[in-house]
Amino acid sequence: MILEVDGLQIHYGTAGGTVRAVDGASFAVPEGRIVGLVGESGCGKTTAVRAIMGVLAENGRRAGGRVVFKGKPIDETNTRPLLWRDIAYVPQSAMSSLDPVYTVGAQIVEVLTKRGRHGKTAARARAAELFDLVGLSENRLRDYPHQFSGGMRQRAAIAMALALEPSLLLADEPVTALDVIVQRQILDTLRALQQRLKLSMVLVTHDISVVAYLCDEVVVMYAGQVIESGPVREVLGRPRHPYTMGLRNAFPDLMSDALELVPIAGSPPDLADPPPGCRFTPRCPFALAACSTRPAAIGSDRAGAGNAHVSACLRDGEADHLRTFALDPVTWQRSSAYATS
């Protein structure tokens, strides 16, 4: 495993109390694999990846857990030297990694000279090489970010992240807000880069079809917790947690538009005051009385080089049965018997 996250807890202090944005999340990234971190907006994905890099917002702090990179525990005191060189980040909005007042080329050259100690001439040559790597013409190095399309900006942000040859790339919603054709082009580029550079990658997305298209493994987050994880083919082919079953119905397949889309009613809970027990209880069509009181824990067994398929649902033993009901849209129109509001 190149990265292990174990029982991570991240708290934000706010006027309304403590927001437990990540509340005991565990997952691992095998070397040379693409792991999708998926869940609806507000489930703690961005917080988790920023915590891995030790770059949280001012009011955020790690309240518990461990992050281990290449066998060494890391936290905000020792990640700085690793950033760019070992762990690189493509932030949620590509615009936020690009400064509107400088040309894109100048910004990549700056990363190479300031962080990588390249000389100016070598940096310019390397910037052209990086542009070529992500499928941009080197003539465009002289352009400003606003002269780029959304897809080109995303490519430029990826080029910048790869400047110092990191081994782990954390990409936060890299294709959100792009049209489906461009999404596929960018995802294909990421896959090609991953294979060519032998990168390990965490791809954060709210869109499970992006995971299906690109990732080897998947970690599903709900309300700050990991509720299901494992190899993509298993987790998306035979989801065991009702939330994953619901997510699968809620997004179009990137390759076809055959399936009827069925949203999961309601929204994720307020992380300043999450429901007790399984946090999905208020939205789950399969909730039992026990679900609202017993916190569901995920198993921690791992198999071989990858991660085993695990789920935190109390009704895990009935997963095959529940899955057949989950495919019926009517199931999701019925509100939970344990809805709190």
Ligand X SMILES: Nc1ncnc2c1ncn2[C@@H]1O[C@H](COP(=O)(O)OP(=O)(O)O)[C@@H](O)[C@H]1O
Contacting positions for ligand SF4 (CB under 6 A): 241-242, 278, 280-281, 284, 286-288, 291, 296, 313-315
Q: Which is nearer to Mg ion, 10 or 163 (CB)?
A: 10
Site string for ligand X, 102-121 (x = CB under 6 A): --------------------
Alpha-carbon gap, residue 253 to 68, rounded angstroms: 34
Phi-psi sector, 117: left (phi>0), alpha (psi -120 to 50), beta: left
Residue 222 contact among ligand SF4, Mg ion, ligand X, none, beta carbon within 5 to 8 Å by kind: none
Q: Which is nearer to ligand SF4, 307 or 311 (CB)?
A: 311
Contacts of 30 (CB under 8 A, 6+ apart): 1, 2, 200, 216, 217, 305, 306, 307
Out of 17, 57, 289, 321, the only residue in the binding site for ligand X (CB under 6 A) is 57
Decide: is 241 part of the binding site for ligand X (CB under 6 A).
no
Decide: is 126 part of the binding site for ligand X (CB under 6 A).
no
Q: Which is nearer to ligand SF4, 199 or 220 (CB)?
A: 220
Out of 2, 11, 20, 46, the only residue in the binding site for Mg ion (CB under 5 A) is 46
Contacts of 25 (CB under 8 A, 6+ apart): 5, 7, 8, 44, 48, 65, 221, 224, 225, 226
Contacts of 294 (CB under 8 A, 6+ apart): 277, 278, 314
Nearest to 169 by CA among 213, 235, 214: 214
Q: Which is nearer to ligand X, 59 or 147 (CB)?
A: 59
Please give the sequence-ordered ranges of beta strands (E in DSSP) within 145-295, or none if there are none: 168-172, 200-205, 217-222, 225-231
Site string for ligand X, 32-51 (x = CB under 6 A): -------x-xxxxxxx----
Residue 21 contact among ligand X, ligand SF4, Mg ion, none, beta carbon within 5 to 8 Å by kind: ligand X
Element (H, E) at 121: helix 120-133
Chain residues binding ligand X by CB under 6 A are 12, 14, 19, 21, 39, 41-47, 57, 59-60, 271
